[in-house]
Amino acid sequence: SSLKSFRTGALKLLGNLTFNPISALTGATVADITNYQQASDLCRDMMLEAEQVAKQLGCTLRVSVDRRLQRARDLVGDHKTSMLQDVEKGKPIEVDILNGVVEVASLTRSQIPAISAIAKCTNLLNHVLEKNTKSKL
C-alpha cells in the first residue's frame, strides 16, 4: 500500500539524513558509526531532532529512533553509504535532504543543533568537491 511505502521511505530518509553525511565526513561505514558510541549518539540526536520536526508537521514515526539504530547495526553492517561512495569518487554529494530538513525546521521553529552542524560541514564538503570537479574540467 502507499502508506507502507511512505513509512518505509520515511525510515530510509531518517537513515539518509544521519548515516550518509556522517559517513561522507568521516569515511566510516554504517557499522563503524553504529558501533562507535559517540557517532551512534550523534545519529540518535539527529534522528530525535528530525522526529521533532516531523511531529511539528503532524507526522509520527512508527519505529522508534533506538529501534532504527538497532536495525542499522544488525542489518546494514559494513555498508558504505552512497554519499561516502560519491566522496571516494570525488563526485559532488546530495545535500538536498539535509538542507530541506534545516529549512523546514526553521519554518517550524524547531531546534536542530546536531543536524544544523552536520549540514554545515556537509555543505562545505560538497562545496570543496564541486570546486575540485570544476577545476578538473
111: CB partners within 8 A, 6+ apart:
49, 52, 105
- For residues 60 and 38, give the distance between their C-alpha atoms in angstroms, rounded to a whole number: 26
136 is catalytic: no
Out of 12, 55, 120, 131, the active site residue is 12
Reported as type and span, the H/E element at residue 35 is helix 30-35
- Determine the distance from the C-alpha atom of residue 107 to the mean position of all C-alpha atoms in its chain, rounded to a whole number: 20
Q: For the purposes of burial, counting CB atoms within 10 Å of the CB of 92, is it exposed (0-12), middle (13-18) or buried (19 or more)?
A: middle
Residues serving a catalytic function are 12
